[in-house]
Amino acid sequence: MRLILSLIVAGLAGSAVAQDTPQAEQEPELVGGSVRTNVAIAVPVMPGDMVGRQVAEVIASDLRSTGLFTPLGPGGIPGYSVAEAGNPAYPNWRNAGVAALVSGYVEPRADGRITVACYLHDVTAGRQLAQQGFAVASADWRRAAHKCADLVYSRLSGQQPYLDTRIVYVAETGPKNNRQKRIALMDSDGSNHRYLTVGRNTAVTPRFSPRGDKLVYVSHIGRRPRVLLYDVATGQERLLIPGNHITFAPRFSPDGRNVVFSMANGGNTDIYIVSASGGAPRQLTSAPGADTSPSFSPDGRQIVFESDRSGTQQLYVMSPDGGGQRRISFGGGRYASPVWSPSGNLIAFTKISGPFRIGVMNAGGGGERILTDGWQDEGPSWAPNSQFVMFHRSTQGGAPARLYAVPVGGGAARSMPTPVGGSDPAWSPVNN
C-alpha cells in the first residue's frame, strides 16, 4: 500500500510519463470469459454406509438436471475414506480434469437416524467452498441428498436452491378419447411418486399453497368442473365454494389465505376471490368475455390474468380488489395462462401464434422472449428460484403430453421424469 501511494505521488508529480491520471482510471482491468460451458464436477460414492452410493447418485442426477454441470461418478471414479472427505487430494482431482468435487460421508447416529455430511470443493483453486451436515431418518436419505445438491448448486450458481422440492401434476393415461386424468405427486427427480386422486373423475390444474401443505385443483364431479381444496398430509378435501357452480383455474394468494379462481355462468366467465377457510366469494372482473388463469404477484399487490374481452386472449393486470385492470400484452398473437415468477420480475405465459410456445415477459409488460419451440407447449409454472419454467408439451396425434422444464435464460427444455404422460405441472416451494 505504501508503495502504491508513493506511486501516486510520483505520478502526480509528473515524472516524465504520459499518463498522469488518478489511480482508479489507470487500474488494469481483467475480463473473464463467461464461457457457456458445464462445470465438470466429480461426485464419488460417499463412504461410511451403503446408502452413500445412492446419495451420490441422487446428487449427481440432481446436478445434471440443472443443465449447469457435467457430473462424473459415482461409478467409475475413485472413492475416498471418511477422513479424506474434508481434505481431498486436490492435485489428483485436477489431474482427472474436474473443476469441482462433492464429497461427504454417511454415519449412523445414536438416535437411530443418519448423518449425511456434504462438502463442496473448488478443485482448481484447491479449497473448500461449503459444507453442511444433515441429520435425517434413515429412510429419508433422499432429502439429505437433495439438500446437498442444492448446497452445491446454490454455491456455484449464485441462485436460490430448488432441487429439494416436489412436483404435482396431472398424470394422463389411456387413449386420447378416453383418457384418465389424475392428480399425482412426486419428488422433483421423479421418486416417491404417488397418486392423490383415484381417477374416477377427470382432475386438472393442481397448484400448491405457498407453504406446500395444500393443493387446489379442478375435478369434474357430477359432470361439472369444480375447484377442490386438498390437504396434502391428510388427503382430506372439500369444495372451495359450496353449491353447484362451474369453477376452475384456482390459485392461492401468496399469503395462503385466499384463492382466486374463475366461475362460468350464463356464457360469461369471471374471476373471483374467496377465503381459503370458507365464505362468500367476491367478484373481481365483470367484463363480457372469458376472464381466467389468474396469478398473484409474489408481493400480493397485483393479479395477472388472461381475458378475451378485446376479441382475442390477452394478458391483463389488476389489483386484488379488481381495480385498475389494464392490458400488458401487445405482441402479435394470443397470450394465455400467465404465471408470475416467485422473484416478481417476470411473467411466464403460453403464446399462441400458430404453434403454442412458452414465453416470458417483464412483469410490467415488454421484453418478451420465447423459450420453447414445440408444436403445443402450454401451462407454464415456475421453479421456486425463478430459474426454470415447467410446462407440458403435446404432439400431434394421440400420445399423452409430457412434462418439460426449460431454463429461463434460454436453453434446451429437458423432459421431467414422470412414469406416465403428464400435464399442468406445479412446483412446490423448497421443502423445509
Partner 1 sequence: MNKTILIGMAAVALTVGACGRKQAPPEIPPADQAPPPADPNSTDPNSLEVVELPALQADLVAKAGSDTVYFGTDEYSLDQASQATLAAQARWMLANPNVRASIEGHADERGTREYNQALGERRANAARDYLVAQGVPSTRLVVTSWGKERPVATGSNEEAWAQNRRAATVIIR
Partner 2 sequence: MKMDRAELLGTGAALAFHVLLIGALSIGLARVTSTPEPPSMEVEFIDEVAMEAAAPTPIAPPPPASQAPEIGQAEPELPTPEPVVAPPPPAPRVVPKPAPRAPERASAKPTPRPATPAAARPAKPAPRASRIGDDFLKGIADSDSTSDAPATPAAKTFNATARTSVGQAILRQVQPCADRQPFIGEGADQIRLRINLKLARSGRLTRPPTVLGMTGDPDLRAKYGDLLEDQVRRIFAQCTPLRLPADLYDTPTGGWNDFTFTYRVN
Residues forming the site for partner 1 (CB under 8 A): 175-177, 179, 181, 202, 204-205, 218-226, 228, 237-244, 246, 248-249, 262, 264-269, 278, 290, 292-293, 306, 308, 313, 336-337, 350, 352, 356, 376, 378-379, 394, 396-398, 423-424
Query: Residue 31 binds what, of partner 2, partner 1, none (CB under 5 to 8 Å, by partner type)?
Result: partner 2
Nearer to partner 1, 144 or 264 (CB): 264
Q: Answer with the entry of partner 1, partner 2, none that 243 interacts with (C-beta below 5 to 8 A by kind).
A: partner 1
Quote the CA–CA distance of 268 and 289 in Å, as a whole number: 6
Residues 48, 107 contacting (CB under 8 angstroms): yes
Residues whose CB falls within 8 Å of the CB of residue 426, separated by 6 or more in sequence, listed in order:
167, 168, 169, 206, 207, 208, 381, 390
Q: What angle do CA 312, 361, 329 make, to 5 degrees?
A: 25
Nearest distance from residue 348's CB to partner 1, in Å? 13
| Distance of alpha carbon 70 from alpha carbon 31, whole angstroms | 25
Question: Rule CB under 8 A: is residue 431 a binding residue for partner 2?
Answer: yes
- The site partner of 156 among partner 1, partner 2, none (C-beta below 5 to 8 Å per kind) is partner 2
Q: What angle, rounded to 10 degrees, do the helices at 51-65 and 141-157 form? A: 40
* Closer residue to partner 1, CB minimum distance, 33 or 222: 222
Q: Which residues contact 58 (CB under 8 A, 6 or more apart)?
A: 142, 145, 146, 149, 189
Q: Interaction with partner 2 in 31-90: which residues (CB under 8 A)?
A: 31-40, 42, 70, 72, 76-78, 80-87, 89
What phi-psi label fits residue 282: left (phi over 0), alpha (psi between -120 and 50 degrees) or beta? beta
Q: For partner 1, which is the closer residue by CB, 42 or 358?
A: 358
- Interactions with partner 2, residue window 350-409 (CB under 8 A): 409
Could you give the CA distance from residue 305 to residue 318 in angstroms, rounded to a whole number? 8
Q: SS3 for 365?
A: coil
Interface residue with partner 2, options 133, 199, 210, 256 (CB under 8 A): 133
Q: Which does 40 bind (CB under 5 to 8 A by kind): partner 1, partner 2, none?
A: partner 2
Considering only 27, 110, 265, 266, the residue that binds partner 2 (CB under 8 A) is 27
Q: What length is written for the chain?
A: 432
Residue 92 binds partner 2 (CB under 8 A): yes
Q: In terms of CB distance, is 109 or 176 closer to partner 2?
A: 109
By a kind-dependent CB cut-off of 5 to 8 A, residue 343 interacts, out of partner 1, partner 2, none, with none
Closer residue to partner 1 (CB): 76 or 354: 354
| Burial zone of 216 (CB within 10 Å; 0-12 exposed, 13-18 middle, 19+ buried) | buried
Under rule CB under 8 A, which residues in 93-122 are in contact with partner 2?
A: 94-99, 115, 117-119, 122
115 binds, among partner 1, partner 2, none (CB under 5 to 8 A by kind): partner 2
The three three-digit cell numbers of residue 346, written as one number: 417476470
Binding-site member from 135, 198, 399, 412 for partner 2 (CB under 8 A): 135
Separation of alpha carbons 400 and 420, rounded Å: 8
Please identify which residue in 54, 132, 268, 376 interacts with partner 2, judged by CB under 8 A.
132
Task: State yes or no: residue 126 binds partner 2 (CB under 8 A).
Answer: yes
Q: Hey, CA dihedral for 246, 252, 253, 259, is it positive or negative?
A: positive
DSSP H or E segment with residue 24: helix 23-26
* Number of residues counted as binding partner 2 (CB under 8 A): 83
